[in-house]
Amino acid sequence: MRLDIEPRAEVSKLAQILSPVLAVFVAVGIGGLIVLALGKSPVQALFVYFIDPLSQSWTLQELAIKGTPLVLIASGLVYCFRSNLWNIGAEGQFTVGAIVGCILPLATHGMDAGPWVIVLALIMGAIGGALYALIPAMLKVWFGVSEILTSLMLVYVAQLGLDYLVRGPWRDPKGFNFPQSVVFEPGATLPNLMSDGRLHAGIILALIVVGISWFVLTRTLFGFGIRVSGAAPKAARFAGFNAKRMVVFAFLISGGLAGLAGIVEVTGQIGQLQPSISPGYGFTAITVAFLGRLHPVGLVLGAFIVSLTVIGGESAQIAMKLPLDLTTVFQGVLLMCVLAADCFSTYRVRIVSGGAR
C-alpha cells in the first residue's frame, strides 16, 4: 500500500477561495497548541493577537501603516511571480527607491520649498526602484543569468550603498558623527490623515495601486500576457507575446512599486534616512503575495494578516509575556499551512493498494 499524489482534474472555485481560510484556521489551531505548551491560555492569546488590535482606532491605523509597504511591494511582486519570474530582491529595490527618492528632500532641506518636493520624491523613488530591478532583468534577458541570484545579491549592494550615504555624504552635520540624515522638512513628508494617530497618505497610494493593478491584470491584454507567460510559456510564445519584453516589464513594475514603497516609508513614517529603513518588508512581501494567492486584491488580505501577527505579537509580548520567537514561528506555520492547503486543493492524495513499484 502506498500514497500517491495526483493533480485534480478540476479545481472548484469554492475550494480555491476556502483553502486559504482553512489554512488560517489550522495555523491558529497549531499556534494555540504552542501557547498551551508554554503554559498560557490560548483563548487569551487569540484575543490579544487577533481581536485586541482590531478594537481601537490607533491599532487599526498602525495596521494600515504596517500594511502599506507590504501591499505596494507585493502588488509588484505579483507581476513577476505570475509570469514565473523570481524577483527575490524587492528589499534592495525598496532601499534604492528610498535613496533616489530622498535626493530632492535632502537637497532642498532648509529651503521651505513646498509640497512639490514630496510629489517629485515619490516619482523619483519609483523610477529608482524600477531601474534597479532592470539590472537582474537585463542580465536574464541578455545572458540567461538566474534572476533569483542576481536580485538577491543586489539587496546587499543597495543596503551597503545606503549605509555609505548616511555615514558619509548625507550624514547630518549636527548629528555628532552618528549615521543618519537630517530630519525632513514638513513639505518633504507625506501628510498625516488622522489627528489621533500616525496614518499617512501612503495608504491611499497603496489602494490606488491595488485598483489599477487589478484592472491591468484582469482586464488588459498585457495582464493576460503576464498570466499566460507564467501558466503556459509555449502558448504565450505562440500567441505572439515577446517573452523577453515580458521579463523587462514585469521587473520594471515590480521594482517601481518596491521603490515607491521605499520612499513612502521613509517620507511617511521614518522622517529621515538611517542605515536601516526596513525590518525586511521586501522579503515579508513575498509571503504576503502568496498568502493573497498572487491575486492583486487578495494580497491586501495577506498584508492584513501579516501586519496583524506583527502587532498582535507585540501585544502578546507586553500583555502575556509571550516571546517574540512565537510570532516568528507563527508566521512560518501560517505560510506552511497556506502552501499545504494550496497543494491539497490542486492535488489529491490517493491510497493505492498493491505491491511497491
Partner 1 sequence: MRHLIKLAGATALVIGLSTSGFAAEKLKVAFVYVGPVGDFGYSYQHNEGRLAVEKALGDKVETTFLESVPEPDSDRAIEQLVRAGNKLIFTTSFGYMEPTLKVAAKYPNVFFEHATGYKRSANVATYSAKFHEGRYVQGVIAGKLTKANVIGYVASFPIPEVVSGINAFMLGAQSVNKDIKVKIVWANTWFDPGKEADAAKALLDQGADIITQHTDSPAPLQQAEARGKLAFGQASDMIRFAPKTTLTSIVDNWNDYYIARVKAVLDGKWKSEDTWGGFDANLVNMAPYTNMPADVAKMAADTEAAIKSGKLHPFTCPVMGQDGKEIECKGKGVLDDGQILSMNFYIKGIDDKLPQ
List residues near partner 1 by CB under 8 A.
58, 62, 65-66, 163, 167-168, 176-179, 183, 198, 265, 269-272, 274, 276-280, 311, 314-315, 317-319, 321, 323-324
Beta bridge mates, 347:
7
The CA distance from 347 to 349, in Å, is 7
Shortest reach from residue 202's CB to partner 1, in Å: 14
| Alpha helix (H) residue ranges in the chain | 13-37, 42-46, 57-82, 90-101, 103-107, 116-143, 147-167, 202-219, 221-231, 233-238, 243-265, 281-291, 298-320, 324-346
Q: Which is nearer to partner 1, 130 or 266 (CB)?
A: 266
Contact 263, 68 (CB under 8 A): no
Shortest reach from residue 185's CB to partner 1, in Å: 15
Q: Which is nearer to partner 1, 177 or 353 (CB)?
A: 177
Shortest reach from residue 168's CB to partner 1, in Å: 8
DSSP state of 323: -
Of 196, 183, 204, 193, give the one whose Cα is nearest residue 270.
183
Shortest reach from residue 200's CB to partner 1, in Å: 12
Q: Which is nearer to partner 1, 52 or 342 (CB)?
A: 52
Q: Which is nearer to partner 1, 141 or 311 (CB)?
A: 311
Shortest reach from residue 178's CB to partner 1, in Å: 6
- 284's CB contacts (< 8 A; 6+ apart) are 70, 306
- The C-alpha cell at 252 is 520594471
Q: Which residues of 235-258 are buried (b: 16+ CB within 10 A; e: fewer)?
A: ebeeeebeeeebbbbbbbbbbbbb
Shortest reach from residue 332's CB to partner 1, in Å: 16
- 308's CB contacts (< 8 A; 6+ apart) are 49, 50, 53, 54, 63
Q: Which is nearer to partner 1, 87 or 278 (CB)?
A: 278
Shortest reach from residue 275's CB to partner 1, in Å: 8
Q: Which is nearer to partner 1, 108 or 307 (CB)?
A: 307
Shortest reach from residue 321's CB to partner 1, in Å: 7
Contact 6, 348 (CB under 8 A): yes
The CA distance from 175 to 274, in Å, is 12
Q: Which is nearer to partner 1, 77 or 311 (CB)?
A: 311
- The C-alpha cell at 310 is 506583527
Q: Which is nearer to partner 1, 83 or 278 (CB)?
A: 278
